[in-house]
Amino acid sequence: VENVDRHIHEEGKTPFEAAILAARELGGPILAMTMVLIAAYIPIGFQGGLTGALFTEFAFTLAGAVTISGIVALTLSPMMCSRYLLPNQVHSPFMVRAEQAFNWFHQGYKNKLIRVLQTWPVMVVMGFLLLGMTFYLFMTSAKELAPPEDQGIVLYSMIGAPNVTADEMLRNAEAIHKVAETEPEYQQLFQITGTPVINQGLGGVVFKPWDQRKRNANELQKDLQKKWSSVAGVRVAAFQFPPLPGSQGLPVQFVINTTESYQVLDDVAQKVLDKARQSGMFFFVDADLKIDKPQSTLVVDRDKVAALGMTEQDVAIPLNQAMSGNYVNYFGLGGRSYRVIPQVRQVDRLNPDQVLNYHVRTPSGAIIPVSSLAHIRQDVVPETISHFQQTNATIIAGVPTPMVTQAQALDFLKKTTEELAPSGFGVDYAGSSRQYIKESGGFVATLMFSVLMVYLVLAALFESFVDPLVILVSVPMALFGALAFINGGVASLNIYTQVGLVTLMGLISKHGILIVQFANHNLIAGMSRFDAVVEASSTRLRPIIMTTAAMVVGVFPLVIASGAGASGRRSIGWVIFAGLSIGTLFTLFVVPSVYLAFGFIARNKAKATISPQTPAQ
């Protein structure tokens, strides 16, 4: 549309002639831009793992939409321009002033570009600096699997003392419930005690709908964690539902594994936990390996048992019947059947030493106390024993503070373990942390594959291996802008922003395609390389600004998104908004400079291959 309008008003063409000419000029760039966007999205569609599962439909839908858009741009748009764009349209005063303002901006850009290109090596060096800064920003960006979403609920896990009873856990759960009820946003609570073991439990606080509360789930989680920390007799970890499916438990789950004994493993884990708690990076952090559970073992003196003509089985069976609570038979009474449960009274089974006061029968019929045949041995054993990849392991699970990302927490635990653990220890990940490690490793490969696909497509369309390099110079410019905003704290590097970066690569390449295509056309027409790129950049300024503005305005609703899934939408929105805005600014100067640089290199190479003339004899 812009090119047709330019031919009509600046060159005096009829709408039909302008439409034909514009279609011929832009047929190649439109095809290139369409193929580039498709090439950028296709690798996402074929990516495996969680990213592939979530974004396959997204990638193929956009690839299909871009294909249809390209067909429309080459067929329907020129036809409509020839019918509806008139040469003598009367514009409103606002349109006249807007056109005057753009003409002033256009001339200012052209003058500035000429001055910049006169010292193009400076811009080339600046481009390399921005490329280096892009790598630096990528490495230092806050990273996580996905941003936390306000799902209207905060979960919590509770851990009591190793020797706690079921009744005590119920009282602890009630204390937690009362604390939650003090929150104005509280709506209801659910909880389960005694799972997976007797001294642990799980629950959740459901909040009022978004429009009925002022604080979000992150603020409420922080407040509840602080209040629950004061509940005596139990440790509580508040956390939120994982933002993505496929994982469970706390957001940070770090595995330390070894072939050493559990005692050695526990020593290392406790040192790592001490460092983690001192770091201030965690609301809550703990390990599932706890060698603190008292265990009482009845040790039978086999010699004494044998002297009485008994076996250990003769001692174990009556003790099992006295304490287990299992039924041994049925009896009938009043037409009903009842279980017979031989169990001692609760007051007689409050501590292990009372077992020694129980009695067993000898083969001769005598009743003797258990203390005459056995004694109690007290031990401290692990509550649970975990294995990971067939080795002894412990999982350090935690909830990081709001300013600490999942990646920062995992990186801290890994470095601390490597410093404190002796040889023979390894690290791994579980839950959502394992998902994050797996997905983050695949992004760089996906991005590189997308760049390679785009380069090959451009090389085929331009029949050159150099022009695609000039076009792709715009990519690090845009990535720099996006990563600068990410490092500014508006978002993190997660699967949403990663998809946004791949999308950004395809969008920003359109600018380079327009400049390079028209510059090559001007070269063929006989212009110098300098004049060709200046004319191409200034001529294509309006469509570049128009496409950038359209995309920036289009993603702005994502930037200010609220409600369900807002964090993910804001992540994609900020990447495209910032990357396209800043990337366009740099592209308008860096791409022309690199275009001149490659021309300079080509000329020097050509001169070097020309051998000196041999003097005539």
When pLDDT is averaged across residues 179-208 and rounded to a whole number, the result is 89
User: Residue 236, SS3?
Assistant: strand
Most confident of 47-56, 439-448, 570-579: 570-579
Residue range 109-114: average pLDDT?
92
pLDDT digits (tens, 9 = 90+) for 223-271: 999 999 888 888 898 988 887 776 677 889 999 999 988 889 999 999 9
Average pLDDT over residues 138-160: 87
pLDDT at 611 over 60: no
| Mean local confidence (pLDDT), 519-546 | 90
Give the DSSP H/E element, type plus range, for residue 125.
Answer: helix 120-140
- pLDDT higher for 174 or 604? 174
CATH superfamily of 93-140+464-603: Multidrug efflux transporter AcrB transmembrane domain (1.20.1640.10)
353-373 tens-digit pLDDT? 889 999 999 888 889 999 999
Residue 95: predicted pLDDT: 75
527-563 per-residue burial string, b: 16 or more CB within 10 A, e: under 16 = bebbebbbbbbbbbbbbbbebbeebbeebeebbebee
3-state SS track over 184-218? CCEEEEEEEECCCCCCEEEEEEEECCHHHCCCCHH
Q: What pLDDT, on the 0 to 100 scale, is given for residue 91?
A: 66
Question: Which CATH fold would you assign to the domain 1-90?
Answer: Multidrug efflux transporter AcrB transmembrane fold (1.20.1640)
**pLDDT at residue 608, rounded to an integer:** 61
Q: Phi/psi class of residue 237: alpha, beta or left (left: φ > 0; alpha: ψ in -120 to 50)?
A: beta
pLDDT more than 90, % of the chain: 32
CATH 3.30.70.1430 domain locations along the chain: 152-240
User: How high does pLDDT run on average in the chain?
Assistant: 87
Regarding predicted confidence, which is higher, 107 or 84? 107
pLDDT higher than 60, residue 615: no
Distance of alpha carbon 591 from its chain centroid, rounded? Answer: 32
pLDDT greater than 60 at residue 610: no
Query: Where along the chain do the CATH 1.20.1640.10 domains lie?
Result: 1-90, 93-140+464-603
Could you tell me the pLDDT band of residue 525, with boundaries at 50, 70 and 90?
confident
Check whether 167 has a pLDDT greater than 90. Answer: no
Query: What are the backbone angles phi and psi of residue 339, rounded to the nearest 5°?
Result: -80, 145
What average pLDDT does range 62-78 have in this prediction? Answer: 89
pLDDT on residue 604: 67
Average pLDDT over residues 404-411: 90
pLDDT at 374 over 60: yes
Enter the tokens of residue 445: 């490969």
Per-residue pLDDT at 68 exceeds 90:
yes
C-alpha torsion angle, residues 39, 571, 254, 190 (rounded to 10): -130
Label residue 116 left, alpha or beta by phi (over 0 means left) and psi (-120 to 50 means alpha).
alpha
Average pLDDT on 73-90 reads: 82
616 pLDDT tier (thresholds 50, 70, 90): very low
Indicate the pLDDT class of residue 419, thresholds 50, 70 and 90: very high
Half-sphere exposure of 546 (CA within 13 A, CB side): 11
From residue 70, how far is each of 20, 38, 42, 561 by CA, in Å?
Answer: 16, 11, 16, 29
Token pair for 29? 């760039």
Write out the residue limits of the CATH 3.30.2090.10 domain(s) in the chain.
297-303+311-370
Round to whole Å and give the CA distance between 562 and 458.
39
CA distance 226 to 79: 66
Distance separating alpha carbons of residues 389 and 428, to the nearest angstrom: 10
pLDDT value of position 8: 82
Q: What is the pLDDT of residue 534?
A: 93
Write the class of the CATH domain 152-240: alpha beta
Q: How confident is the model at residue 181 (pLDDT cuts 50, 70, 90)?
A: very high
Looking at domain 297-303+311-370, which of 1.10.3720.10, 3.30.1240.10, 3.30.2090.10, 3.30.70.80 is its CATH number? 3.30.2090.10
Sign of the alpha-carbon torsion through 91, 94, 95, 100: positive
Of 3-12, 144-153, 154-163, 554-563, where does mean pLDDT reach its minimum?
3-12
Confidence label for 99 from pLDDT (cuts 50, 70 and 90): confident
Q: Which has the minimum average pLDDT: 90-94, 412-416, 517-521?
A: 90-94
